[in-house]
Structure 1
Amino acid sequence: MDLIDRLRDLSNRVERQSSNVGSEEATKTAFVLPFLQALGYDVFNPEEIIPEFTADHGVKKGEKVDYAIKLDGQIMVLIECKPLGAVLDAKYAGQLFRYFGVTDARFAILSDGARYLFYSDLDRANRMDDRSFFEFNLRDFNEARVEELKQFTKSAFDLDNILSTASNLKYRRALKAEIASEFKEPSQEFVKMIAGRVYSGRLTSSVKEEFTELTRAACTEFIRDRVNDRIQSAFEKDGTSLPEPAPAEDPNAKPDDSSSAKDGIVTTPEEWRAYRIVQAIGAQITDPERIYMRDAKSYCAILFDDNNRRTICRFHFGARKNAISVFTPDEEQRFELERVTDIYKYSDAISSAVSQYIDDK
């Protein structure tokens, strides 16, 4: 079984068992050890995976790190575990900081069983960085992330090779976060730079304000177009085309044996368009293929991972009035729509609704 298949199995286990895993010990047994096993380590060999690893440090005698990975007689990786759903931040992992400077380890992992944050000492030798250089999330990964993770498998582990790519990974991740931030809420510096390339007049306060909105809209449209292109390319690669919307229901049609006729459910062209828009918005933060549509008689639901307990939004499209209900973490918000494309106005609420399930434990 390939690594990606083992990780998918483990991802399914996280989803199935998360409600029954509440303690740190349960997290280690149910998720962390199987994760290390998926990477090829012998979790039953205490000379390779050392539990409750101790290295006395200053006045902190007898402190333990949950696990240490030892290869070729040398401690390579320190691992600190937290309960599933805990806040993962280096400042809450004091043992990792203290142990990093008194062992041979060049890498540290902070995990809650679903998310794995990888640290090194890229900024200062023998001192663990405050910011991780790589993160792997069992609830949200793709083939590219798996390829990066392969560096840490037992069979591929090469200290020099990982260190040579860790810096690039760290800054690339930071740059992606900055780009995402600029696309969502353009800074004045970004607006000034972009506007200066297309506008020849003087950038007064009112012009900057206008270009801030134009830049935000242009970024959203750019991402939407790229996502639509990817979706179209995927279908064309398979020799198919985008699904055709279901035809409008004919009130005079005779009943037949089709499931839609039996159920009285017809997905309209407007609902298909609305679904694609929500996919485009969600694609900024997750794989759009995780966003599904499930139609019903009274509404059309958009679900995360096709799970009816993870509703992103619902379309309420009628003959005279259209609306969308967005299920954000705090409340259900309902917005009236004059046109289907008005859904883009509520991108922030939809992104919030999607995000809660990406980080849901």
Structure 2
Amino acid sequence: MKQNFTVRQGALDGVEVFLSVAHHRSFRRAAVELGVSPSAISQAIRVLETRIGAALFMRTTRSVGLTEAGERFFSRAKPAFEELVAASEVARGLGQRPAGLLRLSVPRSVVPILLDSLIASFCQAYPEVEVEIAANEKLIDLAAEGFDAGIRMGQFIAPDMVAVRLTPPFRFVTVGSPDYLARRGRPKRPEDLGQHACLRMRRSNGALALWSFNDNDRAIEVAVSGPLIANDFPSMLGAAIEGMGLAQVPEPIAAAPMKAGKLIQVLESFAPMAPGMFLYYPSRRNIMPKLRAFIDHVKARSNANNKAQVRTTAKRSKPRKRS
């Protein structure tokens, strides 16, 4: 089948010209308003009338009036065209400054430890942007689902995505409550997990996640079993705190319960490293200002946090003066 490389005339062709002539009741004044010649105006109206199949104007040497068809067309076309112009202005505004709805898909566990302060500071800096957070573990097609960007661990981000680092790499830790460990003992090696109740994660593709470990720089995976299957880390963490079994979770979300003594880490020397959390989005081209502002805000916060960590480390390592 032969392809047609020309764009067919659309229903809106000539409408702006028609509305200008109808408003001024003059082809010449419409030409001045639109910055074209009167003959171009006449030609556009003739094409529009041919396409519609009805005369829209009554023309004499002294005046221009609307036919009944022209009156009806004008009454419907004018508000519709004004709405299109307004829609264009709204879209143009969103393309020129950070404004509108910014939709982010994020894991539920990320919200309290990573996003709370970040989103608060971003909303203060950009009051014309509304932020919507869809908290779930499912890996989705951002464009198809209408999201501007997502946040995930680096190993789960497709290679064709653009990724911006949010956190340094972190460990996956295996933890259990003091009560559970008192009852069941501490595993010494990953293979000991066959004798333990392990809380498991079901991935968005339906598969049960294996537990990963690092044994002398050799990556190993262990299939575990236990009383609970969850689809997010907070649920697993809560069950571990209640003594239901061991859980393997990102260290940042387990840090507070471990510090409070609610959880104890086991198999420390086998803890594997994860790449960290990243903001990701589909393309570097045609980024809306609202997303560009969020990316820049993330980078600025990350740089500020890194500098603060460097200052803290330098202060700790500075030798004390002897009295």
> TM-score band, normalised by the shorter chain?
under 0.3
Larger Rg: 2
Highest RCO, 1 vs 2 (Cα 8 Å, sep ≥ 6): 2
TM value normalised by structure 1: 0.22
